[in-house]
C-alpha cells in the first residue's frame, strides 16, 4: 500500500511550530470558560484552546492520542473528529487526506509501519470504527499485541491519533485510561441536530471509565466543559468538503468487507487447528493400540463418533505401513 498523501506539506511551518512551543508543559486540560464562537472561518474558541494546549506535546517529543465517542449519527466522525483534525493539520502544516483515515487493525498497522520506515513527523492518524481493533473482549488477540507495540513507540514520530468509536466502555483499559489524553463525546440533545460535544479531561475520563463500566453509561458523571464542532463535509461551511463522500464511504465499505473476510479466515484457521489436533490424538492412539473400534476411540479421546467417522480415512492414509494400523478401524 502506498500512502501518496501522507507527508509533511510545510516542513518549515512544522519546524517553526516546534521551535516556538519548545517549553515545559505546565498547563493541563482545565476549565476554560465556555464561549461559542463556531463560524465558517473559526472553530469553537474553547476547543481551539484545548488543542493548542495539548499540541505542545508534539513540540516536546511526544504524541497526542484523543478518544472520540458518541451515539450513531451524532457527528463524532466527520463532524467532531474532522473539525479537530482539520485544525491540527492547519496548525502543524501537515497533510490531511483520505489516506490518513484507517478503519481496520490491518490498515492501521500498514500506516504506522510506513510512518516509521519513512521517518515522517507529525502525521495525523484518524482511526474510524476503532471498535475493530480496540475492543476490550479482544485483548489477547495477536493483532492487539501488534497495535499495542505501535502505540508504545508512536511518540518517536510525534503521531496525532484519533480513536473513534461509539462508547469508551468498548475500549480496552490500556487505550481508554493510559494512552488517550482526553475524551471528546459528541451528543445530540434531540437525536437529530449535530454540533454539540462535551470534553472529559484525563482524570474525569479515567473516573468515567472505571466507575461507569458496570452500567456502561455516561449519565451522572462530571465533565470539564462543552464545545461546538462543525460538519466538515458540509458545503455550507467548507467550499471543498474535507473528503469526497463517495471515496470515504467506498473505503469504509471495503474495510468492512475485509474485516469480515479476516474474521471468517480466522475461524477457518482455528477450525483447521482443532481438526489437526484431533487427528494427531487419534493417530497417536491408533499407533499404540491395534485396530481399535469407533467406540474404543470415543472412550479414549472423548471425540464424538460422527467426527471420528469423518476423519477415519485420514487416519488410514497416515498410519504407518509397518504395523498396518488404521486399515481396519471397525464400528
**pLDDT of amino acid 324:** 47
Beta strands, E only, the chain:
64-70, 101-102, 124-127, 160-164, 182-187, 196-200, 225-228
Q: Residue 304 CA to chain centroid, in angstroms? A: 40
Backbone phi, psi, residue 128, to 5°: -80, 150
**pLDDT of amino acid 1:** 55
For residues 124 and 160, give the distance between their C-alpha atoms in angstroms, rounded to a whole number. 5
Strand partners, 220: none
Locus of grid cell 493400540:
289
Domains and CATH numbers, the chain: 11-243 (3.40.50)
**pLDDT of amino acid 245:** 80
Q: Residue 239 CA to chain centroid, in angstroms? A: 30
**pLDDT of amino acid 66:** 97
For residues 98 and 255, give the distance between their C-alpha atoms in angstroms, rounded to a whole number. 13
SS3 101: strand
> pTM for this one?
0.73
Pick left, alpha or beta for residue 278 (phi over 0 → left; psi -120 to 50 → alpha; otherwise beta): alpha
pLDDT per residue rounded down to tens, the chain (331 residues)? 556 677 777 888 888 888 777 654 333 323 333 232 333 435 788 898 999 999 988 888 889 999 999 998 888 998 899 889 988 988 888 888 899 999 988 889 999 999 999 999 999 999 998 876 655 455 446 677 788 889 999 999 999 999 999 999 998 899 999 999 999 999 988 877 888 999 999 999 999 999 999 889 999 999 998 998 887 766 555 556 777 888 888 988 888 887 777 767 666 677 777 777 776 776 666 656 656 777 877 777 777 787 777 666 666 665 544 454 445 545 5
SS3 sequence, 227-278? EECCCCCCCCCCCCCCCCHHHHHHHHHHHHHHHHHHHHHHHHHHHHHHHHHH
85 near 100, Cβ under 8 Å? Answer: yes
Locus of grid cell 488410514:
316
For residues 301 and 299, give the distance between their C-alpha atoms in angstroms, rounded to a whole number. 6
C-alpha cell at 1: 500500500
Residue 9 has a CB neighbour count (10 Å cut-off) of 13
Locus of grid cell 499407533:
287
**pLDDT of amino acid 330:** 52
Amino acid at each position: 500500500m502506498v500512502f501518496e498523501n501522507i507527508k509533511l506539506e510545510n516542513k518549515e511551518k512544522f519546524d517553526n511550530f516546534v521551535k516556538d512551543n519548545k517549553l515545559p508543559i505546565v498547563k493541563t486540560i482545565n476549565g476554560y470558560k465556555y464561549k461559542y464562537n463556531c463560524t465558517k472561518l473559526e472553530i469553537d474558541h474553547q476547543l481551539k484552546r484545548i488543542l493548542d494546549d495539548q499540541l505542545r506535546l508534539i513540540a516536546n517529543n511526544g504524541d497526542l492520542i484523543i478518544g472520540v465517542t458518541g451515539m450513531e449519527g451524532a457527528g463524532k466522525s466527520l463532524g467532531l473528529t474532522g473539525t479537530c483534525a482539520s485544525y491540527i493539520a492547519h496548525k502543524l502544516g501537515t497533510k490531511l487526506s483520505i489516506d490518513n483515515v484507517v478503519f481496520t487493525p490491518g490498515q492501521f498497522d500498514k500506516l504506522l509501519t510506513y510512518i516509521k520506515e519513512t521517518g515522517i513527523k507529525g502525521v495525523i492518524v484518524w482511526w474510524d470504527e476503532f471498535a475493530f481493533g480496540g475492543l476490550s473482549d479482544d485483548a489477547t488477540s495477536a493483532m492487539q499485541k501488534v497495535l499495542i507495540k505501535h502505540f508504545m513507540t508512536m511518540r518517536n514520530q510525534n503521531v496525532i491519533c484519533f480513536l473513534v468509536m461509539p462508547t469508551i466502555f468498548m475500549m480496552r483499559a490500556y487505550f481508554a485510561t493510559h494512552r488517550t489524553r482526553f475524551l471528546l463525546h459528541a451528543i445530540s440533545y434531540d437525536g437529530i441536530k449535530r454540533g454539540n460535544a462535551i470534553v472529559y479531561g484525563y482524570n474525569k475520563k479515567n473516573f468515567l471509565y472505571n466507575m461507569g463500566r458496570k452500567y456502561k453509561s455516561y449519565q451522572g458523571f462530571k465533565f470539564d466543559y462543552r464545545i461546538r464542532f462543525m460538519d466538515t463535509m458540509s458545503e455550507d461551511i467548507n467550499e471543498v468538503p474535507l473528503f469526497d463522500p463517495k471515496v470515504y464511504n467506498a473505503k469504509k465499505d471495503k474495510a468492512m468487507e475485509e474485516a469480515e473476510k479476516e474474521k471468517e479466515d480466522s475461524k477457518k484457521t482455528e477450525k483447521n487447528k482443532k481438526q489437526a489436533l484431533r487427528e494427531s490424538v487419534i493417530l497417536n492412539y491408533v499407533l499404540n493400540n491395534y485396530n481399535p473400534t469407533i467406540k474404543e476411540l470415543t472412550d479414549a479421546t472423548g471425540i464424538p463418533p460422527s467426527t471420528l467417522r469423518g476423519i477415519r480415512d485420514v487416519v488410514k492414509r497416515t498410519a504407518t505401513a509397518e504395523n498396518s494400523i488404521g486399515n481396519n478401524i471397525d464400528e
